[in-house]
């Protein structure tokens, strides 16, 4: 069985923890492990191979976190633009044998009852071997309006339901044969593609064309031109709601999709008054508050029923139960001249990280860390000059035709428009301070001439 892990979501409902370039599945929320790592961990002994479906930026995040797990037998399929789950799954299935059993797992779900999870997978696999397409239904614990529902009779699916209003969700709860739609699936790759071809032929044909234009390897890149031709649709609409081969497996696996701070708060320890517990939190005469902080001390007095999320560059305060409105905040941020929706102060790149120390009109200061054996692209900028000061390790610096070593306490200067590159040929990280000076210091002021990671 192949575990196909979908990593495409942006996780905007958990802003400001989650950003476009560091979505929630890669944020290390639980014992210094991410939801992505937990997903890989619970499936790697049950599946012979991990198949990661992501975009280019998330590919490098996945690569780093898989290295921490020392995980082998991994394949990747990279999408230049997101087209929802049906094309993503189809493209990957087209690279597998017809009878290969596929377990589709979102990368951002928490499953705590792993012993029951294994039993559920065995049942799903047995059904998939009989050419059924299996979905996993979670027994609802509350009238949740943020999930889709599955109406079932035994293993048979009667219907799929959209996210309901509260009145309808309460009715589902009372009837007892409605389950939360987990977004997990199990089937033979070929059986799924047969059903996709039957019910969504346009997705099938354009996906087949896209995959035929790639080279078969453990890293498959879909071209932007081919991906753009594929219609956007979810697996639910494209196949599940139309196929006659669908079965549902009841899954009592302590599942949480962590789609909101209300859901996330359920997974953290609380004090006797229902407040989050942390050494950096003090609460006085306050109840039922979810507080997430990293380094800063947060103190509350006479405050009840709030969600407070503090990060180095953004603070969120909202009432409990209102966290679904965070997507409206993100939408507002996208309309402003800010990168707060997109990136943290510390950004992860395939070669390492950079942290913005100061960003002011006219100049920007960064701390840059380059991993051993990695190098930045050969590049130039049109609107800024750069000063590099090495504080640790030895950097190999290319400026124009010159290539030289820059050691701790030494510096170099790159004039606007000059071709340059930074690399680490040593065995320890290179850490340097970069000062950018110019009329524009945005991250998009870059022309890559050559890049080890095939970025544009």
Alpha-carbon Rg for the chain in angstroms: 24
Convert the pLDDT of each residue in 60-91 to its tens digit: 889 889 988 888 889 999 999 999 999 999 99
Query: Which is nearest to 189 in space by CA: 93, 90, 88?
Result: 93
Q: Are 430 and 369 in contact (CB under 8 A)?
A: yes
Q: What is the pTM of this model?
A: 0.86
Task: Give the angle 129-131-135 at the CA atoms, nearest 5°.
Answer: 90
Q: Are 55 and 154 in contact (CB under 8 A)?
A: no
What ranges make up the beta strands (E) of 240-279? 246-250, 255-256
Please, what's the largest Cα pairwise distance for the chain?
A: 74
In whole angstroms, give the CA distance from residue 407 to residue 128.
Answer: 59
Q: How do 149-153 and 133-138 pair as beta strands?
A: unpaired
Which tokens go with 142?
């509350």
| Pairing, β 33-34 against β 28-30 | antiparallel
Element (DSSP H or E) covering residue 38: helix 35-43
Q: Are strands 178-188 and 101-106 parallel, antiparallel or unpaired?
A: antiparallel
Please give the CATH architecture assigned to the domain spanning 2-253. Answer: Alpha-Beta Complex (3.90)
Given this model, what pLDDT does residue 352 score? 93
CATH 2.60.120.10 fits 346-450, yes or no: yes
- Tens-binned pLDDT, residue by residue, of the chain (456 aa): 999 999 977 768 899 999 888 889 999 999 889 999 999 999 988 999 999 999 887 888 898 899 888 888 899 999 999 999 999 999 999 999 999 999 999 999 999 999 999 999 999 999 999 999 999 999 888 888 888 999 999 999 998 998 889 999 999 998 989 999 999 999 999 999 999 999 999 999 999 999 999 988 889 999 999 999 999 999 999 999 999 999 999 999 999 988 889 889 999 999 999 999 999 999 999 999 999 998 899 999 999 999 999 999 999 999 998 887 898 999 999 988 888 888 888 888 889 999 999 988 899 999 999 999 999 999 999 999 999 999 999 999 999 999 999 999 999 999 999 999 999 999 999 999 999 999 999 888 999 999 988 877
Q: Cβ atoms within 10 A of the Cβ of 189, count?
A: 22
pLDDT value for 54: 92
Structure confidence at residue 367 (pLDDT): 96
Give the pLDDT score at 216. 83
Per-residue model confidence (pLDDT) at position 231: 96
Could you give the CA distance from residue 301 to residue 285 in angstroms, rounded to a whole number? 6
Buried b (16+ CB within 10 A) or exposed e, 125-164: bebbeeebbbbbbbebeebbebbbbbbbeeeebeebbeeb
User: Which spans in 213-270 are helix H?
Assistant: 224-228, 235, 261-265
pLDDT in tens, 369-402: 999 999 999 999 999 999 999 999 999 999 999 9
Structure tokens belonging to residue 229: 């031709």
pLDDT digits (tens, 9 = 90+) for 34-59: 999 999 999 988 999 999 999 887 88
Half-sphere CA count of 117, side-chain side, radius 13 A: 19
C-alpha to C-alpha distances, 450 to 376, 378, 380, nearest whole angstrom: 9, 5, 11
Domain ranges of the chain: 2-253, 272-325, 346-450
């Amino acid at each position: 069985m192949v575990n196909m892990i979908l990593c495409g979501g942006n996780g905007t409902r958990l802003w400001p923890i989650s950003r476009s370039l560091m979505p929630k599945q890669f944020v290390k929320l639980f014992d210094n492990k991410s939801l992505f790592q937990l997903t890989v961990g619970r499936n790697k002994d049950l599946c012979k191979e991990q198949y990661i479906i992501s975009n280019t930026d998330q590919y490098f995040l996945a690569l780093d976190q898989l290295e921490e797990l020392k995980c082998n037998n991994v394949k990747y399929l990279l999408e230049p633009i997101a087209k929802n789950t049906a094309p993503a799954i189809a493209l990957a299935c087209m690279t597998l044998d017809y009878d290969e059993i596929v377990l589709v797992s979102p990368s951002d779900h928490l499953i705590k009852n792993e012993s029951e999870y294994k039993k559920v997978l065995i049942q799903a696999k047995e059904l998939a071997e009989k050419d059924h397409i299996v979905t996993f239904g979670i027994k609802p614990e509350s009238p949740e309006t943020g999930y889709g529902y599955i109406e079932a009779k035994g293993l048979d699916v009667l219907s799929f339901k959209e996210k309901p209003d509260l009145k309808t969700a309460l009715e589902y709860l009372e009837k007892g044969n409605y389950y939360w739609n987990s977004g997990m699936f199990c089937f033979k790759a070929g059986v799924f593609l047969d059903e996709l071809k039957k019910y969504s032929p346009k997705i099938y044909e354009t996906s087949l064309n896209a995959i035929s234009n790639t080279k078969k390897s453990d890293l498959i890149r879909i071209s932007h031109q081919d991906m753009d031709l594929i219609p956007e649709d979810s697996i639910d609409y494209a196949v599940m709601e139309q196929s006659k081969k669908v079965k549902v497996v009841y899954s009592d696996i302590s599942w949480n999709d962590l789609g909101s701070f209300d859901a996330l708060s359920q997974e953290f320890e609380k004090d006797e008054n229902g407040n989050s517990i942390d050494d950096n939190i003090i609460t006085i005469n306050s109840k039922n508050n979810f507080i997430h902080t990293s380094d800063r001390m947060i103190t509350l007095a006479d405050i009840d029923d709030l969600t407070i999320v503090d990060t180095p560059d953004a603070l969120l305060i909202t009432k409990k139960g209102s966290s679904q409105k965070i997507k409206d905040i993100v939408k507002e941020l996208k309309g402003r001249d800010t990168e707060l929706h997109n990136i943290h102060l510390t950004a992860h790149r395939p070669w390492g990280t950079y942290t913005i120390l100061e960003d002011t009109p006219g100049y920007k200061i960064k701390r840059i860390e380059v991993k051993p054996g990695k190098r930045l692209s050969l590049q130039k900028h049109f609107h800024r000059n750069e000063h590099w000061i090495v504080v640790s390790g030895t950097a190999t610096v290319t400026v124009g035709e010159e290539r030289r070593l820059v050691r701790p306490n030494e510096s170099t200067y790159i004039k606007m428009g000059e071709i340059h590159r930074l690399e680490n040929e040593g065995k320890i990280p290179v850490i340097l301070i970069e000062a950018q000076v110019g009329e524009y210091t945005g991250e998009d002021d870059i022309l890559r001439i050559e890049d080890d990671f095939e970025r544009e």
